[in-house]
């Protein structure tokens, strides 16, 4: 979008605020900020601000490269469930014949998939082989705060730390990524991200597609900007309101395609992007079913034509290729029509898997729904002026306390700004929570399951019920990674 259109939008916003008595008024703090800002600063700020409508489109995938499937991390050769995860620098051939400098876990780009079982006592040897500090954060895992890998747990270059935890939660698709103070966005952007699958008795008995890389496909969506040398130059690409690229990589694959059999195929979607939101749909308009949210299975499959994921959210969906017209070109596309992942359907049909009608016993009880709101979160601002409850992150400040094992209701409000505001993806560490309501209404059916990240639209209020199983200091923050690094984060101490 050109500068002219943005200026026009800005003018309209100011007219709306000035001319309409019941429109959203900037609060005192915002007034104060605006007073201190000269015109050029404001112009710069608006230039970079990312509203939902003006996001650069992704280039269509040409489908020339078969999708890369992350390897499954093998256990170390010692007693027990022991893994080693190393954060490394490397070079990756993303474009044919060119080496791009990247970061990865146990490799040059992204990471292996870590497969855990409920009940496992896991030991992970984390090693920082980068030349900068990093942390190892297990996104969605219900573990004690001292192994959660928040910004307090930085490993310096060359440092090692062994962490131990028991997997106490149900089958789900989680992920791991770095979380160092003010450096999360750059390190994730450069390639530090990996998947965690948790399996349990239930997930193994449901009969869902489970052949990893065959009909159970991990899909990590990340958008990037490559410079003329085909390098990821974060400081050049960076946008304080969320770095958005024109080039999609899925599992690190440029121009990916996925070859599938004529059967039910389970796609585990992870929005691993710094800031881009995706609305996934099939190019034919055909429906699919969603079977899982961030932290576990839905009770019943939910039929959908599209599903939206904001950064760090996951959804598991099943596409039944035996029921689609495979004479047509099939692809997973984004809301704006850009082609994300073309499918090549082989003639082979497999019919072993099924989608059961009942998959889980998730419930939101009357008692939980009747609990009073005891914690209020107000998300506000844009660019580097983002705040939670008017404050920026301070590692020395505890914002809330909560008792271990006690359910509380948090109310999260996204306060609009003079530009209207933008979606903030809100994430809480160390717990899976339940959505009670969105603007007072029951959440949509595909959000009636365990969540650790939620989208909160401008002027929207979301109520959640949350309980922490473990103790310690946990982060809660916006998962637009530049907002996180700009201080849109707070801390809850669980006692
Ligand atoms: Cu945000």
Residues 239 and 318 in one domain: yes
**Could you read off the pLDDT of 442-490 as tens digits, one per residue?**
999 999 999 999 999 999 999 999 999 999 999 999 999 999 999 999 9
Q: How far is the CA of 479 from the centre of ligand 1 (A)?
A: 6
Position 298 in a domain = yes
Q: What percent of the chain has pLDDT over 70?
A: 89
What domain range is 146 assigned to? 65-205
Residues 384 and 422 in one domain: yes
Q: Out of 205, 226, 243, pick the residue that ends a domain.
A: 205
Supply the pLDDT for residue 19. 30
Residues 344 and 222 in one domain: yes
Q: How far is the CA of 265 from the centre of ligand 1 (A)?
A: 33
Q: How far is the CA of 347 from the centre of ligand 1 (A)?
A: 45
**Could you read off the pLDDT of 321-356 as tens digits, one per residue?**
999 998 899 999 999 999 999 999 998 777 678 899
Which has the closest alpha carbon to 255: 215, 288, 224?
224
Q: How far is the CA of 86 from the centre of ligand 1 (A)?
A: 29
Q: How far is the CA of 456 from the centre of ligand 1 (A)?
A: 9
Q: What are phi and psi of 140, to 5 degrees?
A: 100, -10
Q: How far is the CA of 158 from the centre of ligand 1 (A)?
A: 32
CATH code, 248 = 2.60.40.420
Mean pLDDT over residues 377-404, rounded?
Answer: 97
Q: How far is the CA of 246 from the centre of ligand 1 (A)?
A: 20
Q: How far is the CA of 386 from the centre of ligand 1 (A)?
A: 7
Give the list of residues 6+ apart from residue 21 with CB closer than 8 angstroms, or none.
none
Position 458 in a domain = yes
Residues 453 and 397 in one domain: yes
- The rounded distance, in Å, linking the Cα atoms of 490 and 301 is 35
pLDDT grade, residue 270 (50/70/90)? very high
159, HSE (Cβ side, Cα atoms, 13 Å): 11
Q: Are strands 330-333 and 400-402 parallel, antiparallel or unpaired?
A: unpaired
- The b/e string for 442-460 (b: 16+ C-beta within 10 A; e otherwise) is ebeebbbbbbbbbbbbbeb
Q: How far is the CA of 424 from the centre of ligand 1 (A)?
A: 4
Q: Residue with structure tokens 């979160």? A: 377
- The rounded distance, in Å, linking the Cα atoms of 70 and 109 is 10
Residues 11 and 121 in one domain: no
172/347: higher pLDDT:
172
Residues 337 and 452 in one domain: no
Mean pLDDT of the residues in the chain: 91
Residues 184 and 276 in one domain: no
Q: How far is the CA of 4 from the centre of ligand 1 (A)?
A: 25
Residues 195 and 243 in one domain: no
Domain count, the chain: 4
pLDDT grade, residue 49 (50/70/90)? low
Residues 272 and 194 in one domain: no
Residues 26 and 84 in one domain: no
pLDDT at 6 over 90: no
**Could you read off the pLDDT of 10-37 as tens digits, one per residue?**
333 333 333 333 333 333 333 333 334 4
């Amino acid at each position: 979008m050109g500068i002219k259109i943005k200026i026009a939008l800005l003018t309209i916003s100011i007219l709306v605020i000035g001319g309409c008595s019941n429109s959203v008024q900037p609060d005192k703090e915002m007034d104060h900020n605006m007073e201190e800002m000269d015109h050029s600063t404001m112009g710069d700020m608006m230039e970079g601000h990312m509203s939902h409508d003006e996001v650069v489109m992704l280039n269509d995938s040409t489908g020339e490269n078969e999708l890369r499937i992350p390897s499954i991390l093998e256990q170390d050769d010692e007693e027990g469930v022991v893994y080693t995860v190393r954060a490394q620098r490397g070079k990756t051939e993303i474009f044919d014949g060119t080496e791009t400098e990247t970061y990865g876990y146990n490799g040059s780009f992204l990471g292996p998939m870590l497969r855990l079982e409920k009940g496992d006592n896991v030991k992970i040897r984390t090693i920082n082989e980068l030349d900068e500090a990093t942390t190892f954060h297990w996104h969605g895992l219900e573990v004690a705060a001292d192994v959660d890998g928040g910004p307090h747990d930085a490993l310096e270059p060359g440092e090692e730390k062994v962490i131990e935890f028991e997997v106490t939660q149900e089958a789900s698709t989680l992920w791991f990524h770095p979380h160092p103070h003010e450096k999360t966005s750059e390190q994730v952007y450069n390639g530090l991200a990996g998947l965690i699958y948790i399996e349990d008795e239930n997930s193994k008995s449901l009969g869902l597609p489970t052949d990893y890389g065959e009909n159970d496909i991990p899909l990590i969506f990340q958008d990037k900007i490559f410079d003329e040398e085909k390098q990821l130059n974060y400081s050049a690409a960076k946008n304080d309101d969320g770095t958005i690229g024109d080039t999609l990589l899925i599992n690190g694959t440029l121009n990916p395609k996925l070859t599938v059999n004529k059967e039910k195929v389970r796609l585990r979607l992870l929005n691993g992007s710094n800031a881009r939101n995706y609305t996934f749909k099939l190019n034919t308009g055909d429906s699919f079913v969603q079977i899982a949210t961030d932290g576990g299975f839905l009770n019943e499959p939910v039929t959908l034509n599209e599903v939206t994921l904001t950064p760090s959210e996951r959804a598991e969906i099943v596409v039944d290729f035996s029921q689609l017209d495979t004479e047509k070109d099939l692809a997973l596309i984004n809301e704006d029509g850009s082609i994300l992942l073309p499918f090549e359907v082989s003639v082979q049909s497999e019919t072993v898997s099924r989608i059961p009608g009942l998959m889980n016993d998730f419930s939101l009880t009357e008692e939980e729904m009747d609990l009073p709101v005891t914690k209020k979160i107000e998300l506000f601002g844009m660019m580097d002026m983002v705040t939670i409850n008017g404050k920026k992150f301070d590692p020395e400040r505890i914002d809330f306390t909560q008792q271990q094992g006690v359910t509380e209701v948090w109310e999260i409000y996204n306060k609009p700004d003079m530009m209207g505001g933008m979606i903030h993806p809100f994430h809480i560490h160390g717990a899976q929570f339940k959505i009670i309501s969105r603007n007072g209404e029951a959440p949509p059916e595909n959000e009636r399951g365990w969540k650790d990240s939620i989208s909160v639209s401008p002027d929207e209020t979301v109520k959640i019920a949350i309980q922490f199983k473990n103790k310690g200091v946990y982060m809660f923050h916006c998962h637009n990674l530049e907002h996180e690094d700009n201080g849109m984060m707070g801390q809850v101490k669980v006692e």
